[in-house]
Structure 1
């Protein structure tokens, strides 16, 4: 086997293993902070929160040193104010890679370089150097023998897609076709991802009531308010998925497929001005909690169910030096004194089994005499800030019942109760729920605390296993088998 062919097979092999590893949630760290903690303190915070992926908007050398030997995967950035220099000079690109990447590998696990940020929509004068910058940096990585470890791309704003809904008809702004064509060709040839900054907050506020707040926050929608793409009949339970699918379809419209999307910024501001009512702590907590759960369940999107969407949360600290309205300075999940604005976990809360044997045979169900509006309010809370796993009650899933909010709410209430009872969680929800000894499980919808028709021990606290989850497990087993079979063959050829 020729060296070129061997490298191609090895690259394909690694990509297959990577695709089987599942999506992750990382965090952005901005620079517009007046009293930014020391690099070592920031890394301590990342470790405490068990964050394994971080995006630096620049290539701060103190952070790169502090991140050494932590195993945390790092995305560094070429700031917009450095883009012209790098994009106009191959030696400048080599110098940038040597000083900001090569000097810290392998101790610091740098895996991606984000070249600029929303260049086409925020810095259009630099548009013509974007692709040359990528090409020069790629050549520099190749010369340093880092091209297989470090990938290159450039984050784009949703403003690049003038009409993002319905996703099936989305296209990039044709003004930038001459840039997007070679950009997508670069991503395709290097196996890199399309970077998207997907912020439903802006789309919700800009839509002025076109879409319900619940849709933006990943909360359960009233069965009469489901959002569907009329061209594909695909249902969208949240705005985030619709944005990602809009990017996929925009690439498809330019005849590019099989380029994965990675979301480089997504979050929700926790404080706003007097004219920014949607920017509050409850909404920020709901959005980010539900976003983390959604990404970690590896479900993909309606049009791309097998393409997992890794995401970097925006952001770790408030950037008080950012220009604009009050909300612009208040996207952080932490204060700079290391206290939390609100509590988040970056672990897979959707699959952690916290069912207690003491609650076996006990169920927290919705009170059938409660009003529809009261049940909906409780359901919104339990699936949002309450952090219940509500994936099984989404349309098309095992526990979804159209026009039966009592059944839907019962599943969510019960999941919350079994997860949290040991730490003080109750079954009340302002009088809309009550304890029952009657098992409400039905068909493949198994409630936490149930022995189940198949004799299960109540591990359904995480909800029924979906076909997507089963497919993901099967894919993982298949790829492991394939690796065991192919690797010896490759080595012998």
Structure 2
């Protein structure tokens, strides 16, 4: 096995310092679905949203090619099923790098390689292969002159901790310390890499709603939790969990290795027994986390080390197994429409476009063009009281037909609108036009959502009116 050396690596240091100083938001781009947009469309979506960091779960050629020249920094992955070969044969990682890194870098800005994912909970017991595989991947990068610009790490699940409460008592599981954690942390320190950690306060909250307050889990105002050992006050479960990892690292004398949160998120939908899974809570968690990250604040234990976080995930993925929540972590539906609206950039924070505290983050797009002469568009002041006046949501005829169709598909599909009346032969099928059918579907969605703020927008494809829409003899409901 090839040896590795300590890198002076000014490039890595400067890159890390730049990220750490300001805090950064990235997004996980998972693809366990059969209805996602093309990689080139995804890249455009990321650029439109101002996202400049993305994490993948493989090295798919089509995706890496689409990211070429985008100026989006990319973390790629070597999957768990390849750990055994990567650990046992340097020739394997050499070949892997030749096939999966060299053809794309530097046009595709690959900045990190995640070797495996949550390996300690892998039922195939790949843990013994992890650190040797990481070292071999790194040695291959050295061989091809890339070790100064591409780091190597591995995402850990929080279950790697033996203790996590109070945060100051955080410790790794004893059976992992000597064979895995010490050599891994030593490797990360020597190579200038971060420890990748996946943190999900949702799981802890859903499992213990009697003890953990929802406000504490969602970064909302709360009285906080005081660590009895050091007096530090925690106002969010995320920070408490992160500092538990720092404490576990400090116990092994590696608290100078930085942490990167490679997954965190909150589902917008879940099974009945998944407490807290809702779009409002997801918007609150992710929106408030983004605010914290982009304002440069650290944790109580490391207040001067702003955070580097990847949200999970870009899209709802309809082929993921498990409970309903597993398929509903996305910020976007597959049609690229937002599940809820949160800021992802400093510019978004400064625009004031979201409701304070993230509890209801969508807003009505009052800039959408409105057809004339009738029906009239609701004034901005009327929108705030739309739950007490008669309002309907209708299609914007000036919107591109492709946008209208995509919004109609969403409303009648994942949106849950009642679209039976616009089926052939039904009461509202005529007039059989895209605008008429979209208007009925948009209004059904809007009314079903109790006329909530932001539920009549559809990325500019809809707007509110105060007179009953006129489409033949069809009657548009004002509630369900």
Same fold (TM over 0.5): yes
Shift >4 Å, 4+ stretches: 422-428
Report what 1:39 is aligned to: 39
How far apart are the structure 2 equivalents of 1:270 and 1:12? 36
Greater mean deviation of Cα atoms: 233-242 or 342-351: 342-351
Say which SS state the counterpart of residue 25 (structure 1) adopts.
Answer: strand
- 1:157-236 aligned within 5 A: 157-177=157-177, 178-221=179-222, 225-236=223-234
Shift of 1:163: 2.3
Report what 1:258 is aligned to: 256
When residues 196 and 13 of structure 1 are mapped into structure 2, their CA distance, relative to the original with a 3 A threshold, is: closer
How far apart are the structure 1 equivalents of 2:20 and 2:135? 28
When residues 13 and 263 of structure 1 are mapped into structure 2, their CA distance, relative to the original with a 3 A threshold, is: closer
Report what 1:461 is aligned to: none
Say which SS state the counterpart of residue 102 (structure 1) adopts.
Answer: coil
Say which SS state the counterpart of residue 231 (structure 1) adopts.
Answer: coil
How far apart are the structure 1 equivalents of 2:7 and 2:254? 24
How far apart are the structure 2 equivalents of 1:99 and 1:285? 39
Kept after mapping to 2: 8 A contact 1:297/1:350: no
Say which SS state the counterpart of residue 338 (structure 1) adopts.
Answer: coil
How far apart are the structure 2 equivalents of 1:217 and 1:109? 33
- Tell me the C-alpha RMSD between the 2 structures: 2.7
TM (norm. structure 1) is 0.70
How far apart are the structure 1 equivalents of 2:269 and 2:108? 34
The C-alpha deviation readout for 1:352-371, integer Å capped at 9, x for no partner, is 2669xxxxxxxxxxxxxxxx
Report what 2:48 is aligned to: 48
How far apart are the structure 1 equivalents of 2:159 and 2:359? 29
The C-alpha deviation readout for 1:367-412, integer Å capped at 9, x for no partner, is xxxxxxxxxxxxxx73223569xxxxxxxxxxxxxxxxxxxxxxxx
Runs of at least 5 residues in structure 2 that lack an aligned partner in the other structure:
363-378, 388-480
Report what 1:91 is aligned to: 91
Greater mean deviation of Cα atoms: 189-198 or 162-171: 162-171
Say which SS state the counterpart of residue 312 (structure 1) adopts.
Answer: strand
Say which SS state the counterpart of residue 125 (structure 1) adopts.
Answer: coil
- 1:403-414 aligned within 5 A: none
Shift of 1:307: 1.4
How far apart are the structure 2 equivalents of 1:123 and 1:58? 19
How far apart are the structure 1 equivalents of 2:61 and 2:380? 42
Count how many residue pairs are aligned between Structure 1 and Structure 2: 366
Runs of at least 5 residues in structure 1 that lack an aligned partner in the other structure:
356-380, 389-421, 431-493
Shift of 1:209: 2.0
The structure 1 residue matched to 2:242, chosen from 241, 244, 259, is: 244
Shift of 1:278: 1.1
Shift of 1:319: 1.8
How far apart are the structure 2 equivalents of 1:297 and 1:208? 29
When residues 106 and 16 of structure 1 are mapped into structure 2, their CA distance, relative to the original with a 3 A threshold, is: closer
Kept after mapping to 2: 8 A contact 1:293/1:350: no
When residues 303 and 313 of structure 1 are mapped into structure 2, their CA distance, relative to the original with a 3 A threshold, is: same
How far apart are the structure 2 equivalents of 1:13 and 1:187? 13
- 1:298-377 aligned within 5 A: 298-348=296-346, 352=350
Is 1:64 equivalent to 2:38 in the alignment?
no
How far apart are the structure 1 equivalents of 2:82 and 2:101? 15
Greater mean deviation of Cα atoms: 80-89 or 311-320: 80-89
Shift of 1:85: 1.9
Shift of 1:98: 1.3
When residues 317 and 131 of structure 1 are mapped into structure 2, their CA distance, relative to the original with a 3 A threshold, is: same
Kept after mapping to 2: 8 A contact 1:293/1:349: no
How far apart are the structure 2 equivalents of 1:33 and 1:250? 36
Shift of 1:340: 1.3
Say which SS state the counterpart of residue 196 (structure 1) adopts.
Answer: strand
Is 1:384 equivalent to 2:358 in the alignment?
yes
